[in-house]
Structure 1
Amino acid sequence: MTPPPVVELVDAGYAYPDGPAVLTGVRFGIAEGRSVALLGRNGSGKTTLLRLLSGGLRCATGELRLAGVPVSYDRKGLTRLRTTVQLVVQDPDDQLFAASVGQDVSFGPLNLGLPEAEVRERVARALAALDITALRDRPTHLLSYGQRKRAAIAGAVAMGPRVLILDEPTAGLDPHGQERLLEVLGQLRDAGTTVLMATHDVDLALRWADEAAVLTPDGLRTGETARLLAEQELLDAARLRMPWGAAAARVLRARGVLSAGEAGPRTAEELARWA
């Protein structure tokens, strides 16, 4: 029997006060150990969806479930949710507030009432996972943008979530910073953390994510990344371009280099195999 998703929206809808519905009838679950890319045009509801999944917003219709059980929004229910699902917002300055990196990363575990020794251990593991141990005592206002991004993620990781949700985590980073962050996220995934990333970067989604979820005015489509991001009609509805890897796969199939069921390239290195 297949276990239920770690976290799941069932027939969920949401509308901001005095505004139209942003999301309607959304069904979206995240399974254990997956990497998922959430894509869609500006204003499609990506950030709203992330906030519903993390409990920052409450469904106006439908419900949020953890392991198949509806979430209650009392203190006990929200604590259970926030120790399972953690959201990192797009701008790290909206998340960092403590005087130093170490203090900021320790805030969440301390609020859980954990013993001091366990808090220290969690902070040390989170800083090491994000490769910022040397920044433990650095004032947060003296960090570079990339360092602030990683410090914000470390604060979420210190909570020990099963699902880590990131809103445009590579936005504003230079290419080296993007690659370093993706490497870190890959390590977190390999260690057992499920990662959901909202992004506009279709090429990044194709090479990084096991699954994709695409928001359009008609609703949410989910599926295996390479297949979903090769559907031109879906991409047009979401105002997304086709990833170069999917476009290259079309050319390779047209030339008989790839068979119909064979996976296409996700990276330049993979493309070079058929060059």
Structure 2
Amino acid sequence: MAVTPLVELVGAGYAYEDGPAVLSGVDFGIAEGRALVLLGRNGSGKTTLMRLLSGGLRPGSGTLRLGGADVAYDRKGLVRLRTSVQLVVQDPDDQLFAASVEQDVSFGPMNLGLPAAEVRERVDAALAALDITALRDRPTHLLSYGQRKRAAIAGAVAMAPRVLILDEPTAGLDPDGQERLLDVLAGLRAAGTTVVMATHDVDLAVRWADDAAVLTPSGIRTGPAAELLSEPELLASAGLRSAWAPVVGAFLRARGVLADGVPGPRTPEELAALGS
């Protein structure tokens, strides 16, 4: 029995004013509980796709569905969509605007007209989930880049979305900051949030995602991340380099170090552990 995606584009297309179509005839859905990664070269349509899914843009053709029902682009329909699907943009400075972290994170729930007690509860939970409770009174302009990233995500999390879409969330973070953010995303997933990430980092995608969507000039290819991101020709067509993990896994299997069907190492640390 087919499972209805949480949010889904059906036959969708979009073109910016006086420009060619960025996307055309797109059928694309987000399945509940799966970590999904979006990959493609600059200009491939990733940002447009994310904005269509979150209601920031309206398809020029086709339909956006939420829970199997067509989205209405009136106030009621958009509120329903945006309380279910939240997009966090790449640059946190494009999203943060309030004087303090707590004020920024509380803006969305307050705008929904929720009771003050529920707003406080949501803000507390979002700050805790992103591990920035100690920063609640900090002016947003005094935060580090990584702290601003997490504050922007907390603002989305406070809306209690079913789907959280992140545009290049690890860009600009040092290795420690990336690992801390990945731990945060793991916690959000464990709490029931479906997470979608756009990235150029193919190695991160292989390591993190269950499913992948690769945007190429000939359309969108989707499938299990481990399989899809093992196709060098597909990655090349999307302007992406080959992932480290599939290449190393194939090398180890060819030399009898790994049996067929056994997952290979996803990181250098896991590779080193094989030899210990």
Please indicate, yes or no, whether the TM-score normalized by the shorter chain is above 0.5: yes
For 2:249, what is the secondary structure of its paired residue?
helix
Counterpart Cα distance in 2 of 1:169 and 1:273? 28
The residue that corresponds to 2:223 in the other structure is 223
The residue that corresponds to 1:239 in the other structure is 239
Unaligned runs of 5+ residues in structure 1 are none
1:222-250 CA distance string (max 9 Å, x none): 11111001111101100111111011011
1:36 matches 2:53? no
* Pairwise CA distance, 1:161: 0.2
The residue that corresponds to 2:12 in the other structure is 12
1:190 matches 2:196? no
Once the two structures are overlaid, the 10-residue window that deviates more, 258-267 or 176-185, is 258-267
Counterpart Cα distance in 2 of 1:232 and 1:167? 24
Instruction: Please show how residues 112-261 of structure 1 align to structure 2 within 5 Å.
Output: 112-261=112-261
Counterpart Cα distance in 1 of 2:25 and 2:274? 43
* Pairwise CA distance, 1:273: 4.5
Counterpart Cα distance in 1 of 2:19 and 2:225? 32
1:93 matches 2:66? no
* Pairwise CA distance, 1:27: 1.2
The residue that corresponds to 1:68 in the other structure is 68
Unaligned runs of 5+ residues in structure 2 are none
Asked whether the 8 Å contact 1:100–1:138 carries over to 2, the reply is yes
The residue that corresponds to 2:48 in the other structure is 48
1:36-64 CA distance string (max 9 Å, x none): 11000111011110000000001011111
For 1:48, what is the secondary structure of its paired residue?
helix
Counterpart Cα distance in 1 of 2:260 and 2:235? 20
* Pairwise CA distance, 1:6: 0.4
Following TM superposition, the consecutive aligned residue runs of length 4 or more in structure 1 with deviations greater than 6 angstroms are none
1:177-227 CA distance string (max 9 Å, x none): 111011101110111100000000001101111111100000001111110
Asked whether the 8 Å contact 1:216–1:238 carries over to 2, the reply is yes
Tell me which amino acid in the other structure corresponds to 2:167: D
Instruction: Please show how residues 73-84 of structure 1 align to structure 2 within 5 Å.
Output: 73-84=73-84
For 1:258, what is the secondary structure of its paired residue?
coil
Q: Identity over the aligned pairs, expressed in percent?
A: 77
For 1:200, what is the secondary structure of its paired residue?
coil
Report how many aligned residue pairs link the two structures: 275
Asked whether the 8 Å contact 1:257–1:274 carries over to 2, the reply is no
For 2:161, what is the secondary structure of its paired residue?
coil
Counterpart Cα distance in 2 of 1:197 and 1:274? 29
Tell me which amino acid in the other structure corresponds to 1:52: L
Tell me which amino acid in the other structure corresponds to 2:254: A
RMSD: 1.0
Counterpart Cα distance in 1 of 2:187 and 2:171? 20
